Structure 1
Amino acid sequence: MTETTKTDPKIEELFKVGAHFGFNKSRRHPSIAPYIFGSKNRVDIFDLEKTNEALQKALEFVSKLVETKGVILFVGGKNEAQSIIKEQAEIVGMPYSASRWIGGTLTNFPEIRKRVDMMLDLTSQKEKGELVKYTKKERVLIDKKIEKLQKMFGGIKDMTALPKALFIIDPRYEEIALKEALTLKIPVIALCGSDTNIEDIDYPIPANDSNVASIGFFVEKITEACKKLS
Structure 2
Amino acid sequence: MALISLRQLLECGVHFGHPTRKWNPKMSPFIYTKRNGIHILDLQMTTRFIDDVHAYVQEIVGQGKTILFVGTKKQAQDAVREEATKCGMPYVHNRWLGGLLTNRNTMTKRIERLRELRKQKEDGYFDTLTKKDKNFLMEELGKLEKNIGGVADLNGLPDALFIVDTNKEVNAVKEARRLGIPIIAILDTNCDPDDVDYKLPGNDDAIRSIRLFCQIVADSVMEARYGYLPPDSVFIRAQEDEDESMDDDGGRKDKKDKKEKAEKAEKPAAVEAAPAPAAQPEAPVLAQAPAEEPAPAEAAAEEANDNE
Shift of 1:198: 0.8
Task: Identify the match of residue 168 of structure 1 among 135, 158, 163.
Answer: 163
Check if 1:226 corresponds to 2:221: yes
Aligned to 1:204, the other structure's residue is in SS state: strand
Shift of 1:137: 1.0
Give the structure 2 partner of residue 27 of structure 1: 22
Kindly provide the amino acid, as one letter, of the partner of residue 171 in structure 1. T
Give distance in 2, aligned partners of 1:74 and 1:132.
Answer: 34
Check if 1:41 corresponds to 2:31: no
Shift of 1:186: 0.1
Structure 1 pair 133–15 and aligned structure 2 pair: CA distance change class (3 A) = closer
Check if 1:81 corresponds to 2:76: yes
Give the structure 2 partner of residue 128 of structure 1: 123
Give distance in 2, aligned partners of 1:170 and 1:49.
Answer: 21
Aligned to 2:184, the other structure's residue is in SS state: strand
Task: Identify the match of residue 67 of structure 2 among 64, 68, 72.
Answer: 72
* Contact preservation (8 Å) 2:58, 2:221: yes
Question: How is 1:138-157 mapped onto 2 (pairs within 5 angstroms)?
Answer: 138-157=133-152
Give the structure 1 partner of residue 45 of structure 2: 50
Give distance in 1, aligned partners of 2:105 and 2:47.
Answer: 38
Give distance in 1, aligned partners of 2:62 and 2:199.
Answer: 21
Aligned to 1:27, the other structure's residue is in SS state: coil
Question: How is 1:99-114 mapped onto 2 (pairs within 5 angstroms)?
Answer: 99-114=94-109
Shift of 1:26: 1.1
1:134-157 CA-to-partner distances (Å, cap 9, x unmatched) read 432111111111111111110001
Give distance in 2, aligned partners of 1:90 and 1:132.
Answer: 29
Give distance in 1, aligned partners of 2:224 and 2:46.
Answer: 24
Question: How is 1:155-194 mapped onto 2 (pairs within 5 angstroms)?
Answer: 155-194=150-189
TM-score (norm: length of structure 2):
0.70
TM-score (norm: length of structure 1):
0.94
Runs of at least 5 residues in structure 2 that lack an aligned partner in the other structure? 226-308
Point out which structure has higher relative CO (alpha carbons under 8 A, 6+ apart).
1
Greater Cα shift, 108-117 or 30-39: 108-117
Aligned residue pairs total: 223
Give the structure 1 partner of residue 87 of structure 2: 92
Give distance in 1, aligned partners of 2:127 and 2:189.
Answer: 54
Shift of 1:12: 2.1
Shift of 1:221: 0.8
Structure 1 pair 227–9 and aligned structure 2 pair: CA distance change class (3 A) = closer
Give the structure 1 partner of residue 113 of structure 2: 118
Check if 1:17 corresponds to 2:18: no
Structure 1 pair 9–102 and aligned structure 2 pair: CA distance change class (3 A) = closer
Give distance in 1, aligned partners of 2:220 and 2:172.
Answer: 23
1:46-101 CA-to-partner distances (Å, cap 9, x unmatched) read 01011111111111111101000110000010111100110000011100001111
Runs of at least 5 residues in structure 1 that lack an aligned partner in the other structure? 1-7
Structure of greater Rg? 2
Give distance in 1, aligned partners of 2:127 and 2:200.
Answer: 51
Shift of 1:9: 6.7
Give the structure 2 partner of residue 4 of structure 1: none
Give the structure 1 partner of residue 276 of structure 2: none
Give distance in 2, aligned partners of 1:123 and 1:10.
Answer: 43
Question: How is 1:198-209 mapped onto 2 (pairs within 5 angstroms)?
Answer: 198-209=193-204
